[in-house]
Amino acid sequence: MPVLQDKAVLVTGAGAGIGRATALAMTAEGAVVAAADIDLAAAERAAADCNKDRPAGNSRRAIAIEADCGDVASIEAMVARAVAELGRLDVIVNNAGVTRYAYIMDLTEADWGRIHRVNAKGVFFCLQRAAREMIRQFDADGSGGRIINIASISGRGYAGASNAAYAASKGAVISLTKMAAQQLGRYNINVNAICPGITRTELGARNAVTRAAERGISVEQLLTEQEAGIPIRRANTPDDIAAMAVFLASPGSRNITGQSYNVDGGLVPS
């Protein structure tokens, strides 16, 4: 039997990259997924792909939800709809995030506000709202739930971070993960984070264009340099992060909480 058979999973930022890969990986392991994204069309494409790939015998369909994970009212509506349509909430993957490539002295107040609105505030309120559902489930049947936050090695001081505001927001996610695990453990809620390293996503590709232009080299040269600096000599694909998310959602991780795991090919010490 798939390890997540019939689990109800909400993935934010599921329209592309890590979020989309995670939604598909959860589906492949038997979960029913709510794919949430600020871009409804992208969420719908992800949900459609989940429905095409769902295992035989799993008749429950993935759904798409339009949500702005920097807005508390939108977060409330997102979780409420996921629970109403899926019946419960066993796992949330807080993946939605934003950034841009910028030198520390070029960052503006608008940059700080935009980045922290989603990456720090949004993760907190998604976590809090999901935890309310999971606490209710614990009171009803003892099940609790799993909260998985997508942080970054940038939050650990990685020098190649897209910008300082982004690094600060991801450091906040790592700290939040530790505190939430301590306070929610009594409700059988596990809270962990994944810290991706260099990952080949659409967002990463846009940042690579800016970085390469700044240095006067080709994007191909930049990518080659990046991979040469990784001990295992390859960057992540979104599937690498999705695989860790599946593990943290699975029964095999039942006694793991409060941890932040680097998935970076050995680039940054934990």
Kindly report, residue by residue over 208-222, the tens digit of the pLDDT. Answer: 888 888 888 888 888
Describe the chain by its helix, strand, coil percentages, rounded to 5: 55, 15, 30
**Residue 121 has what DSSP assignment?**
I
Q: Name every residue whose Cβ is closer than 8 Å to that of residue 250 and which is 6 or more positions away in sequence.
A: 3, 4, 29
What percent of the chain shows pLDDT beyond 90? 85
**Sign (positive/negative) of CA torsion 245, 248, 249, 250?**
positive
Q: Hey, what's the torsion of the CAs at 76, 181, 9, 38, to 10 degrees?
A: 40
Contacts of 168 (CB under 8 A, 6+ apart): 116, 120, 155
Tell me what the mean pLDDT of segment 33-51 comes to.
Answer: 98
The more confident residue out of 237 and 56 is 237
Establish if 268 belongs to a structural domain.
Answer: no
Residue 204, in any domain of the structure: no
DSSP structure class, residue 239 = H
Residue 154's pLDDT is what? Answer: 98
pLDDT of residue 204: 77
Average pLDDT over residues 188-205: 92
- Residue 68: inside a domain: yes
216, part of any domain: no
Domain annotation covers residue 233: no
Burial label for 52, CB within 10 Å (0-12, 13-18, 19+), is exposed
Q: How confident is the model at residue 56 (pLDDT cuts 50, 70, 90)?
A: low
Q: What is the average per-residue pLDDT within 10-39? A: 98
- pTM of this prediction? 0.94
Among 58-62, 139-143, 182-186, the range scoring the smallest mean pLDDT is 58-62
CATH number for the domain that contains residue 118? 3.40.50.720
Q: What's the distance, Cα to Cα, between the start and end of the chain in Å?
A: 33
Query: Do 248 and 192 meet the contact criterion of CB atoms below 8 Å apart?
Result: yes
Task: Return d(Cα 36, Cα 124) in angstroms, integer.
Answer: 16
Question: Does residue 91 sit in helix, strand or coil?
Answer: strand
Looking at the domain assignment, is residue 207 inside a domain? no
Name the residue with tokens 């997102």. 78
Give me the active site residues, please.
166
- Tell whether 100 is covered by a domain: yes
Q: How many domains does the chain have?
A: 1
**Band (59; pLDDT cuts 50, 70, 90):** low
Q: 4 and 31 in contact (C-beta within 8 Å)?
A: yes
| Domain span at 109 | 8-199+238-263
